[in-house]
């Protein structure tokens, strides 16, 4: 999936309109979710202007994205959408009040992406990314606590051997994509070892040894819209 995304982004940035349209169609639900989350209220296509602004922001993020940053594209796109929405609300506020938005407004620190404000954008981006990473760690820590797993354990729980790691990653991918097995994990807070091994011909002993790692990666894949940074760090197929 990530390789497909990278290919589509590269093609779209070189002017391939078909690739851009595919990206836009694929990420339309993402844009809706992010806009609703940022606006903190229900939004509807063709009704709320915020979605048009968010849509334009996402389209802009395709061109502004730089793979060399090592930042997940969804995270970058969300920040561009957020910045554009804050710009929109700030403009609306100015029009209504005919004055600069009050400094207490939560959007005061947002920065539009432009050549003129590149330095300010870079500073804003780094601060927002650092904040998001910290929030993701906190969120994942809360979820893993339900499975009696501590976030700091993940480094030691990660398989050291490449083949074992790949097998555990594939097990996590199968688990996250199987509604029945995923339901078992989420409801019982236990890895469905027997079912996972039998359904996908995986070595049960390897699954047992990689239990914490498999659970963590499965949770990250299941919540990947909320945890894009951690997905990049932990889910690294080779």
Give the residue extent of every domain in the chain: 2-101, 145-234
Percent of the chain at pLDDT above 90?
44
Q: How many CB atoms lie under 10 A from the CB of residue 111?
A: 20
CA angle 92, 93, 97 (to 5 degrees): 120
Between the alpha carbon of residue 177 and those of residues 77, 164, 170, 181, the distances in Å are 25, 20, 11, 8
Q: What is the rounded distance in angstroms from the CA atom of residue 171 to the CA atom of residue 205?
A: 13
Cα gap 34→17, rounded to integer Å: 24
Neighbour count for residue 119 (Cβ, 10 Å): 9
How high is the pLDDT of residue 97?
A: 66
84 vs 107, which has greater pLDDT? Answer: 84
What confidence score (pLDDT) does residue 237 get? 47
**C-alpha to C-alpha distance for 60 and 85, rounded to whole angstroms:** 13
Rounded CA-CA distance 154/100 in Å is 47
Q: Report the candidate in 50, 14, 13, 46 with the shortest Cα–Cα distance to residue 31.
A: 50
Q: Give the model's confidence band at 5: pLDDT under 50 very low, under 70 low, under 90 confident, else very high.
A: confident
pLDDT for 168-204, tens place per residue? 988 999 999 999 999 999 999 999 998 888 888 888 8
Q: Spelled out in words, what is the top-level CATH class assigned to the domain 2-101?
A: mainly alpha
* The pLDDT value given to residue 56: 94
Q: Which of 161, 182, 164 shows the shortest CA–CA distance to 173?
A: 182
Cα–Cα distance measured from residue 72 to residue 27, given in angstroms and rounded to the nearest whole number: 14
Q: How many CB atoms lie within 10 A of CB 61?
A: 24
């Amino acid at each position: 999936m990530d390789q497909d995304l990278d290919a589509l982004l590269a093609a779209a940035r070189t002017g391939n309109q078909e690739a851009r349209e595919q990206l836009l169609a694929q990420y339309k639900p993402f844009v809706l979710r992010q806009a609703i989350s940022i606006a903190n209220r229900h939004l509807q296509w063709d009704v709320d202007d915020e979605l048009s602004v968010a849509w334009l922001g996402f389209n802009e993020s395709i061109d502004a994205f730089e793979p060399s940053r090592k930042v997940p594209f969804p995270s970058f796109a969300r920040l561009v959408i957020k910045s554009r929405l804050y710009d929109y609300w700030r403009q609306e506020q100015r029009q209504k009040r005919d004055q600069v938005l009050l400094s207490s407004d939560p959007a005061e620190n947002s920065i539009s992406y432009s050549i003129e404000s590149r330095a300010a954008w870079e500073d804003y981006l780094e601060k927002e990314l650092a904040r998001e990473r910290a929030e993701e760690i906190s969120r994942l820590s809360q979820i893993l606590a339900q499975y009696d797993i501590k976030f700091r354990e993940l480094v030691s729980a990660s398989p050291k051997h490449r083949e074992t790691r790949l097998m555990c990653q594939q097990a996590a991918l199968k688990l996250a994509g199987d509604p029945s097995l995923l339901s078992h994990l989420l409801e019982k807070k236990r890895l469905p070892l027997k079912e996972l091994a039998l359904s996908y011909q995986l070595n049960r002993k390897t699954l047992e040894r990689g239990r914490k790692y498999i659970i963590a990666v499965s949770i990250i894949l299941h919540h990947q819209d909320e945890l894009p940074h951690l997905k990049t760090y932990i889910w690294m197929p080779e």
